[in-house]
Structures are given as C-alpha cells and as structure tokens.
C-alpha cells in the first residue's frame, strides 16, 4: 500500500494520462512571476530528470500546468523529441498543447525553452514562439514579442471540442538538442493585443490602440459583419500622430476616380507606404466601410491632409450623427480641432462642412457647397485637375497636391 506521498510521486507509463493531483505537487516547486497582465508558468524537462526524491519523468511525457487564461483549469504540455542520426542526438521536434480551455481563445501564448541558466533557441536566432490561440483555426507561429515575422515552425493538429482545444507546435527549422532543455515556459496574456493577426482581429485602429497604447503605425486586422462580407481585413492605422487610433479611409494619388471607386477601391489591399500607392493604382478607399469603423455615431473624429503627412489639413470632430457616405452638403455641425499650416475656410479651398459624397458631381468627395460649380475643397475628383488629385486649397497655395489622405477615428 503506497503512502499519499508515494501516490503523488508516481507517474503513469502512458504519457497521455496525467492525473491532476500529480500536477499539484509538481506545481509547488514552480515559481509564478506576474508582470502586468502576464503569467509565466515553467516546467522542467530533459531526457530523464528528477521531479522529486523518488521519481523521474521521461522526455516526451506530459504534465498539467496552469496559465493565466486557463484560470483554475489546466493545460497539458508534452514535448516530443526526434533522433538526428547525423549528430547522434535527440532533438526537440514538437510540443503538444492539449486541454486548452475556451477562456484562452484569442489569447496570445508565448512558448520558450530554457537550459539551466539561459533561453535556448527554437530556431536560429529565435527564442520565443508566439501563437494566437484560436481553437481549430490556430495557425501562424510568430517570433519574438511583437510583429508579424514567422520562422521555421508551424501549427499542426489544431482542434477544439467540448470547450477545450489542442494544437502542436511543429519545429521545422534548426532543432534544439533535447538533453540541453531543462524547462519549457508557457506565457499567456490575459488581455492580448487584437489586430496583430488575421485570426484575432480588432474593430478599428482606435479600439486596437485603446487596448494596447504603445503600438506602432502600420497594418492591422479588423472585422465587422458589414465589412468585407464579415471576413477580417487589413487596414492602415496611424497609432502615433494626433493622439493615434486613426484608420485610413482614403489615399488619393489619381486625378480621376469613378463614383464606385470613391466608395471602395483596393479595400483588401491597403498601402504599406503612404507615399507610394503604385500597387493600388494610386487609388485606395474604404469610405463605404467608414461608418462601421468610427468610434461613435457622433463625437467621432476625422482628419485629412495633403502633399505631406501633417500638412495642409487638420483634425475635426463631427458633433452630430453624420454618415461618412452622406450625400448631404449640410453637415456643418463640426469642430475644427487642429489646423495644419494655418489655412482658413474659403470657397476656393476647404469649406466649413464635413466631406460629403456626390455620386454624379465633379467633386465625388468634397467639402464644397456645390459639386458642379466651384469644387475647391475636394478630396476625390471625377474630373481631371492639374494631372494630380483634386482641386484642394487654392487659397493656401496647395491647389494640386500629389497625395491626399483622409482618416477616421
């Protein structure tokens, strides 16, 4: 008859069977480090290591662990090694994660392996594997703590059933030597940054920045049932200027647009360089999606600028529930919050109204009170003007800018 301690030290020969009570004793020796919203959970592995005074655990068996997103539940982590005949060594080739509760859906998981004193590379130059857990749709494996760069690894056997999921991290690059591995660390963020990956989209640049206020400018993923048929789509986000959280609606580098293009053009192909719109044919617009991106029906912000970012434009607040695709030239309840370059409202420049859409006008998107007469103050034009974009600010010596940008927040 085994004592209680002997029962706790016992490990099944079947690596798939891990008793919860076994994990409790092992967890007594694990250090939990809380840093912000992150919880680090470490466990020890090697070819054959001591877990207690009278038991060992073979490399390839699993153990139950807790992570912050799993709360009082547990996740089973199982490393798998492969024999490399060229070096006559066993190497870590896969790490299986099972019994992942639904509380971890859309949460960022970071996986690291360590020697007794330092991190071990999962591949050349890579010590952190970052995965957004999304049940059976879990896919990309990224390196480091931010960005979208991948490395020699892939997700296989991702599944989800009955409130729990699983996936295997398959290392396909330069494999680490198994005997050197003393610990595997799983780090879960209780609130992960949305928008970084397609399977974890946000709703707008503004929302993404509210959750993670130190993100840089660039491409992010958003999703809305009314945008792109409900499929996640990338947008260009300005996260740093004028308070950040701006979603690019229009980037204009062409002097003639159609009415349909003014509403939607290259919607799934946002620019990565705001000064180079070549891959968009100098036309980018998601104007028709704008009402689903702005942060509120009224009190939302918009911004436009021309020629050079931060020049010849300003930031504004719409004080009424105006639509970004409104066909009315009466949307004048606006506040000009910031002025770039000291221009004034004028009938030969930007006028004191929110840009409005005119499907048959010379100014397809314009601040002018008239779309067929004086059409200065336009952001998109249906008629050629100066061979560049649209008749913009004659009164501020910026009649023919090379580029015009329009944003919403």
Q: What is the tens place of the pLDDT at every residue in 293-306? A: 999 999 999 999 99
pLDDT of residue 105: 83
Residue 335, pLDDT > 90, answer yes
| Position 408 confidence tier, pLDDT thresholds 50, 70, 90 | very high
Decide: 183 and 40 in contact? Cβ < 8 Å.
Answer: no
pLDDT of residue 107: 82
pLDDT of residue 258: 97
Strands 38-43 and 183-189: antiparallel
3-state secondary structure the chain: CCCHHHHHHCCCCCCCCCCHHHHHHHHCCCCCEEECCEEEEEECCCCEEECCCCCEEEECECEEECCHHHCCCCEEEEEEEEEECCCCEEEEEEEEEEEEEHHHCCEEEEEEEECCCCEECCECCECCEEEEECHHHCCCCEECCCCCCECCEEEEEEEEECCEEEEEEEECCCCCEHHHCCEEEEEEECCCCCCCCCCCCECCHHHHHHHCCCCCCEEEEECCCCCHHHCCEEEEEECCHHHCCEEEEEEECCCCCCHHHHHCECCCCCCCCCCCCHHHCCEEECHHHHHHCCCCCCCEEEEEEECCCCCCEEEEEECCCCCCCCCCCCCCCEEEEEEECCCCCCCCCCCCCCCEECCCCCEEEECCCCCCCCCCCEEEECCCCCCCCCCCEHHHCECCCCCEEEEEC
Residue 103 tokens read as 């509380």
Cα-to-chain-centroid distance, residue 102:
20
Q: What percent of the chain clears pLDDT 90, i.e. is strictly above it?
A: 62
Question: What residue has token string 């491409």?
Answer: 219
Residue 381, pLDDT > 90, answer yes
| Range with the largest mean pLDDT of 71-75, 130-134, 260-264, 368-372 | 260-264
Global pTM? 0.62
Decide: 209 and 215 in contact? Cβ < 8 Å.
Answer: yes
pLDDT tens for 392-404 read 999 999 999 999 9
Residue 118, pLDDT > 80, answer yes
Decide: 398 and 312 in contact? Cβ < 8 Å.
Answer: yes
Higher pLDDT, 191 or 408: 408
| Position 42 confidence tier, pLDDT thresholds 50, 70, 90 | very low
pLDDT of residue 9: 30
Sheet with 75-84, strands from edge to edge, namely 63-65, 75-84, 89-101, 164-171, 153-161
pLDDT of residue 147: 75
- CA dihedral defined by 198, 238, 371, 324, rounded to 10 degrees? 50
């Amino acid at each position: 008859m085994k004592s209680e301690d002997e029962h706790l030290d016992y490990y099944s020969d079947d690596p798939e069977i891990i008793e919860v009570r076994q994990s409790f004793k092992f967890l007594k020796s694990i250090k939990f480090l809380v840093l912000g919203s992150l919880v680090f959970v470490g466990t020890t592995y090697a070819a054959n290591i001591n877990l207690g005074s009278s038991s060992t655990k073979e490399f390839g068996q699993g153990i139950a662990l807790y992570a912050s997103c799993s709360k009082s539940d547990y996740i089973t982590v199982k490393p798998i090694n492969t024999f490399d005949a060229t070096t006559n060594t066993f190497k870590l080739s896969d790490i299986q994660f099972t019994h992942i509760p639904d509380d971890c859906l859309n949460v960022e998981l970071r996986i690291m392996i360590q020697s007794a004193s330092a991190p071990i590379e999962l591949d050349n130059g890579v010590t952190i594997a970052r995965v957004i857990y999304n049940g059976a749709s879990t896919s990309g494996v990224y390196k480091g703590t931010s960005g979208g760069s991948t490395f020699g690894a892939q997700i296989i056997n991702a599944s989800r059933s009955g409130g729990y999921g699983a996936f295997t991290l398959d290392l396909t690059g330069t494999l680490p030597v198994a005997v050197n591995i003393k610990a595997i660390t799983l780090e879960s963020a209780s609130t992960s940054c949305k928008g970084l990956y397609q399977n974890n989209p946000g709703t707008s640049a503004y929302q993404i920045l509210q959750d993670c206020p130190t993100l840089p400018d660039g491409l992010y993923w958003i999703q809305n049932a009314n945008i792109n048929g409900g499929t996640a789509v990338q947008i260009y986000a300005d996260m740093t200027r004028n308070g950040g959280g701006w979603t690019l609606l229009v980037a204009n580098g062409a002097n003639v647009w159609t009415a349909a293009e003014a509403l939607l053009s290259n919607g799934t192909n946002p620019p990565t360089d705001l000064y180079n719109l070549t891959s968009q044919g100098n036309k980018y617009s998601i104007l028709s999606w704008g009402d689903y991106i702005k942060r509120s029906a009224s009190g939302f912000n918009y911004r436009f600028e021309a020629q050079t970012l931060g020049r010849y434009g300003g930031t504004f607040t719409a004080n009424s529930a105006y639509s970004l695709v409104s066909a009315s030239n009466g949307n004048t309840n606006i506040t000009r919050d910031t002025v770039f370059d000291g221009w004034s409202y004028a009938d030969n420049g930007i006028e004191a109204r929110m840009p409005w859409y005119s499907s048959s006008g010379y100014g397809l998107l314009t601040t002018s009170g008239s779309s067929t007469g004086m059409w200065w103050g336009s952001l998109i034009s249906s008629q050629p003007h100066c061979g560049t974009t649209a008749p913009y600010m004659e009164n501020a010596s910026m009649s023919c800018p090379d580029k015009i940008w329009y944003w919403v927040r």
